[in-house]
Amino acid sequence: SWSDTENQFPGSLTEEEIKQDRRQVRESRKDDDGVSDYALLSANMSYRFTDAHSIELSSSYNRRDSETDMFSYPRPSFFDGLNQSFCLMPQYIFNTEDIRLVTGLDYQKDILNVHLFDSASRDNRTGDTHIDRDTLSAYSHVQYTLNPQWMISGGLRQERTRLKIKNKSTSSFNDSK
């Protein structure tokens, strides 16, 4: 799937307007703008060995490109962002009339890159942020049917995340060379 959106954001409130009523919305400045392109690609596959044993594999890739210009902020803000996410989720399923066991892994990689600029023309880059996150999870869930009225179920999930963040911010930052 793919989508393309454009937003006109409401302007920020002045200190006096916040004192009057912080819940009010200031009329949007014509210059405040955001554009975003979003794409999603997903695939699923399953294989049944027997009536009771099967495996499933799901995967997805998400990508969002955005460009935002906020002139009305007390300190105007101009930034471009690229957010990507990749997921891979294999699982094993054991299913009988009385017992259902699902066990599997989830792997997710998220990457966020944000470029800050000093103006909407984007001639001078003033900063970069790069965030890289890897998450690996293992889980298992079992459900036991005692009779048509009663069932017992429980599960366990262990998750580990690695996060790397790199920031570069300087008034003289210029990557146009």
Q: What is the pLDDT of residue 13?
A: 62
Distance CA 164, CA 177 (A): 27
Distance CA 35, CA 95 (A): 46
Q: What is the pLDDT of residue 52?
A: 96
Phi and psi, residue 71, nearest 5°: -70, -30
- What is the average per-residue pLDDT within 128-135? 95
pTM of the complete model beyond 0.75: no
- Taking the CB of residue 176, how many other CB atoms lie within 10 A of it? 7
Reported as a single tens digit per residue, the pLDDT across 9-28 is 555 566 777 777 766 655 55
